[in-house]
Amino acid sequence: MGKILVTGAGGYIGSVTTNLLLENGYSVVALDNFSRGYHAPLELLKSKYGDKLTVYETDLVYTGAKDVLDKEKDIEAVIHFAALLNVGESFKIPHKYYTNNIGGTSRLLESLIDHGVRYFIFSSSCTVYGNAQYLPIDEKHPVVEPVSPYGFSKLTCEKILTWYDKLDMIKPIFLRYFNVCGATDDGEIGDSKRPSFHLMQNAVRGALGIEKFELNYANVKTPDGSPIRDYVNVVDLADAHVKALAWLLREKKGEIFNLGTGSGNSVLEIIKTVKEHTGKDFPVNMSNDRRLDEADKMVADNKKAKEMLGWEPKRTIAQSVDSLISWYTKHPKGWER
């Protein structure tokens, strides 16, 4: 197995994917500026995998990973997670998302090209589709106008990467996530964002009495009036990255894959499941800070990932809830550092 550079490796999805890469025999060069990622999950993995994991603290916006690539001469491919990803926050400070997400990605690509690294997996988002024009959403769905600065930053990065692909400088895979949930099956690695902006995570935290739980969705036209989303488990998501990596190194060409379960659950259905599995009938209040431009329903068509990558989401909503209960019971405040 080769050596893989993982940016944003101290984050939620980054740390879970780093764990799975190591389990599958890859060596990992982990990169994070630790402004929102954490040292602790990487220290945990370092204690388990030793020299198979090397960790660097650096900032892509300033260095583009040149300092890392100068030392690590045999990087085979990159999985790029490093980004700000709070949709609500992006409306308040859009410039931060443009500088970090677009600027950081551009600087990274410059460094990769200079060092001859061609294979690139990009952590993208279903937000590039804007509001769904049809369901389920496949990879041919128009990417016309994202409804948030965050979505715009992801789509802009995709467009930059598409040009590098046309110029035969970088071969990218875009993995467009739907709603991510859960923790590792053993509850050892999970979401530490403070505050988290993921529904299921916040509902579990509310049920366990860790933090007050509030809803912030706008009323929509669904059976129970709450948005329907496609919730995909973070370990299943990490597995898609490992399979996409193997495909990219074998086929050596760019592609786009939607990553979701292919089915949807409403916000209120998720809350009901959390109440059932925790045994806690916690209060549910509406926030004064409601979201803008809320889509009624966003559900993935994942046939392409199934057929081409051999990927299959395996974990149920209930299993995701149970893994989060385990994670937050062990780490009520998430990682400390």
Pairing relationship of beta strands 228-229 and 297-298 according to DSSP bridges: parallel
Q: Give residue for tokens 């912030």.
A: 216
Which position among 97, 150, 177, 231 bears the catalytic label?
150
Q: Give residue for tokens 């990169």.
A: 31
CA distance 271 to 203: 6
Rounded to 10 degrees, the C-alpha dihedral 137/141/146/150 comes to 60
Single out the residue of 268, 181, 258 nearest to residue 223, CA to CA: 268
CA distance 258 to 33: 28
Neighbour count for residue 307 (Cβ, 10 Å): 9
Phi, psi of 185 (to 5 degrees): -60, -30
Residue 253 is encoded by which pair of tokens? 């060409």
CA distance 24 to 17: 10
Single out the residue of 115, 118, 123 nearest to residue 171, CA to CA: 118
Contact 164, 172 (CB under 8 A): yes
Beta strand residue intervals within the chain, DSSP E? 3-7, 27-32, 53-57, 75-80, 119-125, 171-177, 179-181, 214-215, 228-229, 231-233, 255-259, 265-266, 285-286, 297-298
Assess whether 119 carries a catalytic annotation: no
Total number of residues shown for the chain: 337
Single out the residue of 280, 263, 267 nearest to residue 205, CA to CA: 280
Residues with catalytic annotation?
150
